[in-house]
Structure 1
Amino acid sequence: MEGIYFNRERFPFYLVLSLLLQGRGSTFTIDCSRFEQHGVDPSALDMVFDRKAFRPATNLSVPTQVNISFTLSAIRNVDERPQLFSSFLWLEMVWDNPFISWNPKKCKGITNISVATKNLWLPDIFIVESIDVDETPQGLIAYVSNDGRIRYKKPMKVASICSLDIFYFPFDQQNCTLTFRSFIYTVDNMLLGMEKEVWEIEDTSRDIVQTHGEWEFLGINKATPKMLVGDNLYDEIMFYVAMRRRPTLYIINLLVPSSFLVAIDAVSFYLPAESGNRAPFKITLLLGYNVFLLLMNDLLPTSGAPLITVYFALCLSLMVLSLLETVFIAYLLHLATNQPPPMPRWLHSLLLHCTCPRKYCPTVSHKGNEGLGLPPAQLPGVKEPVELVEKSPGPGEAEPAGGSGWTRAQREQEAQKRHRVELWVQFSHMMDTLLFRLYLLFMAFSILTVIGLWNT
């Protein structure tokens, strides 16, 4: 009685086991006597279709080997704001079903048949970085060979998270990952492998990928780490998709107009500072540059601080600095033509050092701002310098008594005033020259940087 009770308790288990192991050995061979050249008898595969809810394995302790590969057919978009990489790819999965087998010689020479995927067990492979629901079309077909090998291809529109480095925008290169892993089966039930070598996947993708837009496909690498989730270990394959941005659009729309505006601002240094036309011209350029930045704001990434924003900030800073320098020089010239103050000793020494090489500068005794040996400068509204040396009275000429001392002091005071005017004028010219050279150095460095980044 105990034996009968024991068998009744375990009858469902033995029934399921018998279904799973039905046809062990030669009984796995499908009866294809009713196969025709243009059709397959559906009833011959009923035994396989009934097992679609179970992982196809004669020994459940042996994991199922699933080989995967994919073909990247299009790079749809790389969005820097939400850090997303959108692509379109064809995923291919290959595995063996030990319950499918037939002899082609007895089946009209048929070696492959197409079966609706709804009738087969499918691996639950997904992309870890994907943030969209799988929108695989319904009613796809898998190809089954006579030795039980199943080959299944499906299209995937993938929007995946990608850590984007936009510091070198628009000359940046991105490396996004696509990690394939099972959602349910651990390494005890499923192992992942490669159906094709990485170089084959890369060459096939390069031949058909549609990258006529902003991004250029570079290559694919892979890694095979294991993913530990709690106490469960999952097998996974990680692919690295490398791509590079085509910078031509951004060079034409961003860098070239900005460089033109900076170059025009540099040319404006040839306008005389004392004429009063330079400051309004620079203000107009500064306003135009701000309008340009506002219009081109949509082309710039909003996350992070790319190098191009630093370039725009430097251009704007240089234009503001040149405007302030123009205002300051106009103030100095106005002050110098009315009541020039004495030049500080340190500024006088700097001016003497910058305007005259040491070996040609005469040795002078510094007394205030006198005896600098600097050439006179001309300004509108400033009269010609008076002669500092008096003429010797000729024979028969008499010096007016009582007025000679006052006239000599007046002449010396006028000469010192004009000399101070010349110093401040030369100082303003020196500032103009230094800022103009800074403009030229900045533009040359910017051009070399763009060429270097473009060629790498």
Structure 2
Amino acid sequence: LQKSWPRKEGSLFSTGRSSTFTINCSGFDKYGVDPAVFQTIFNQKDFRPVINYSIPTQVNISFILSAILEVDEQLQLLTSFLWLKLVWNNPFISWDPEECGAISKLTVTTENLWLPDIFIVESMDVDQTPEGLSAYVTSDGHIVYNKPMRVTSICSLDIFYFPFDQQNCTLTFSSFLYTVENMLLGMAKEVWEIADTSRDIVRTEGEWELLGITKATPKMSVGSSLFDQIMFYVAIRRRPNLYIINLLVPSSFLIAIDALSFYLPAESENRAPFKITLLLGYNVFLLMMNKLLPASGTPLISVYFALCLSLMVVSLLETIFITYLLHLATTRPPAMPRWLHSLLLSWASPRTCCPTKLWKENMGPGLTPPHLPGPKDPGQLVGKELAPREAELSGDSGLTSTQLAGLWVQFSHMMDTFLFRLYLLFLASSIIVVIVLWNT
């Protein structure tokens, strides 16, 4: 059954005083849209739809940031997904909704409409807008065009505070053809509405969370031409939970175990191998977790890892040094300078509370330190009158080699305690500095 269109007398378009057309929409509610009614308007799609070319076209912009797909620190790129909304007016389109069953909005394919050439200045990729999209056309000539966009844009990234970093990227919308004499840009929504809607959508997606969106409206000058533009500043923050669990926690555990390894006896043969094992394990950990770190730049977390590795190396060197002193004391102890002898006397005095004194008390009378022959308590031998058979002296110190060995053992424990406290002080101060920098 072929439907016939009721025709009014005259043309489908009536020409007004302002050269605008009023579409005859009779039958829209019963027979659908007659394509011939819009054909004259479709034929004008190659020209900017204005009655007076001295009047610029107002294009209002808004968007929804639905996803932050990737942040490439090495190439300084932000890949995001937007739903862009453009609204402008076509003065050649208008009809009376009361004449066509209260139909006030129609969809028209974008191939039949003039579209503003809005692009993102920071974009580094070709616009891959799907074909066959449609736009809403209202009875008063407003055109609402929504299109999805995958945007790869330049963004100056500062990764020093990784993984607690915040980034501020810019999306600048402008025209590359129409100057301010031909096109002006405005807002289809308030910027806080754009930020709230985008934040609700991005909230549970991906590694990044959206903090806020602000805007600015500077003009862009290219030679003698002036273009209108709108700059949106997108503030995003990285979710650090993944990196805290996989990077910071294991590293902190390893450095804590290295600090506790100082409580192993200095004479023990297991302290150095234990520290070497920790050092090798930490290197393996860094190699495995290297893919989680930014590929470029020097973030603060890399400085933290280098600091922990350096402290482990220093700890191993300290153990080697103490082991060397103990070995020297048990084989051929050298003569001890008087100032060092006096220092040991003051360090081991009863008024001084130090690990060496505690070590001596734990040894008790009559006990010999491991791997050491001779006197049980080197401190008790200081100033003791020697028997003729113990007249084997070392230099002019008046001490036998056995007594001298005991003093060198005492000096080794004193240095072990001092270096351990220095190690803890440097470790604590370094961690506090890193935490303060991260909090800023």
**If the TM-score is normalised by the length of the shorter chain, which range does it land in?**
0.7 to 0.9
Bigger drift between 231-240 and 116-125 goes to 231-240
Residues 242-287 of structure 1, C-alpha deviations (whole Å, 9 max, x = no match): 1111111111111111111111111211122222221111111111
Q: How many residues align?
A: 408
Amino acid at match of 1:126: F
Normalised TM-score (structure 1):
0.81
5 Å-filtered alignment, 1:426-445, equals 426-441=410-425, 444=428
Gaps of 5+ in 2: 1-14, 353-359
The whole-number CA distance in structure 2 between the counterparts of 1:344 and 1:97 is: 99
Deviations, residues 46-93 of structure 1 (Å, cap 9, x unaligned): 221111000111111221110000001111121212222111110000
Aligned position for 1:369? none
What residue is the counterpart of 2:7 in the other structure?
none
**Any residues of structure 2 matched to 1:37-436 within 5 Å, and which?**
37=30, 39-209=32-202, 211-344=204-337, 355=347, 379-380=369-370, 381-384=372-375, 388-390=383-385, 409-410=391-392, 415=399, 417-436=401-420
Q: 1:253 to 1:339 in 2, by over 3 A?
A: same
* Structure-2 separation of matches of 1:346 and 1:192: 83
In structure 1, the residue corresponding to 2:170 is in which secondary structure? strand
- Residues in 2 aligned to 1:454 and 1:270: alpha-carbon distance in whole angstroms: 31
CA distance in 1, matches of 2:208, 2:337: 59
CA contact (8 A) 1:388 1:411 kept: no
Q: Is the 8 A contact 2:391 2:400 kept in 1?
A: no
Give the AA of the match of 2:369: L
After superposition, the Cα gap between the structure-2 partners of 1:169 and 1:434, relative to the gap in structure 1 and judged at 3 Å, is farther
Deviations 1:275-327 (A, max 9, x none): 22211111111111111111111011121100111111011101111111111
In 2, distance between residues paired with 1:197 and 1:347? 77
Distance 2:133 2:343 in 1: 83
How far apart are 1:212 and its partner, in Å? 3.0
Amino acid of the structure 1 residue aligned with 2:72:
D
Q: Tell which deviates more after alignment, 35-44 or 173-182.
A: 35-44
CA distance in 2, matches of 1:170, 1:210: 18
Distance in 1 (alpha carbons) for counterparts of 2:120 and 2:409: 71
CA distance in 1, matches of 2:20, 2:174: 34
Please tell me the residue identity of whatever aligns with 1:299: L
Length-normalised TM-score, structure 2: 0.84
- Of all paired residues, the percent bearing the same amino acid is 69
Give the aligned residue type for 1:379. P
Q: CA deviation at 1:349?
A: 7.1
Letter in 1 for 2:325: L
Distance 1:170 1:272 in 2: 39
Q: Which residue matches 2:356?
A: none
For the 8 Å contact 2:20–2:91, the answer to whether it is kept is no
Tell me, what secondary structure is at the counterpart of 2:44? Answer: coil
Partner amino acid, structure 2, of 1:270: Y
Using the alignment, how far apart are the partners of 2:426 and 2:242 within structure 1?
A: 23
Deviates more, 1:198-207 or 1:79-88: 79-88
* In structure 2, C-alpha distance between the alignment counterparts of 1:281 and 1:103, rounded to whole Å: 88
Moved more, 208-217 or 95-104: 208-217
1:442: how far off? 5.3
Deviates most, 142-151 or 423-432: 423-432
Contact 1:28 1:101 in 2 (8 A): yes
**Aligned letter for 1:171?**
F
343-352 vs 182-191, greater mean Cα deviation: 343-352
Distance 1:222 1:110 in 2: 36
- The residue identity in structure 1 corresponding to 2:93 is I
Q: Contact between 1:74 and 1:210, CA under 8 Å: does it hold in 2?
A: no
State the one-letter code of the partner of 1:424: W
Could you tell me how far apart the structure 1 residues matched to 2:382 and 2:111 are? Answer: 109
Confirm or deny: 8 A CA contact 2:326 2:409 kept in the other structure: yes
Contact 2:163 2:240 in 1 (8 A): yes
- Tell me, in whole angstroms, the C-alpha distance in 2 between the residues paired with 1:110 and 1:251: 57
**Matching residue's letter, 2:412:** S
Q: 1:316-350 CA deviation, whole Å, 9 max, x = no partner?
A: 10111111111111111111222222345676677
| Distance in 2, Cα, partners of 1:387 & 1:99 | 111
Deviations 1:90-130 (A, max 9, x none): 00000111111122222332211111110000011111111
In 2, are the aligned partners of 1:168 and 1:307 still within 8 Å (CA)? Answer: yes
Matched residues in 2 for 1:253 and 1:30: separation?
65
Whole-angstrom distance in 1 between the partners of 2:339 and 2:398: 24
Label 1:37 to 1:161 Cα distance change in 2 as closer, same or farther (>3 A). farther
Q: Distance in 2 between matches of 1:46 and 1:442?
A: 80
Q: Which moved more, 1:244-253 or 1:422-431?
A: 422-431
Distance in 1 separating the partners of 2:128 and 2:345:
77
**Which residue number corresponds to residue 365 of structure 1?**
none
Determine if contact 2:63/2:83 at 8 Å carries over to the other structure: yes
Q: Which SS does the other structure have where 2:267 is aligned?
A: helix
Name 1:33's counterpart in structure 2.
26
Partner of 2:135, secondary structure, is strand
1:44 CA drift (Å): 1.3
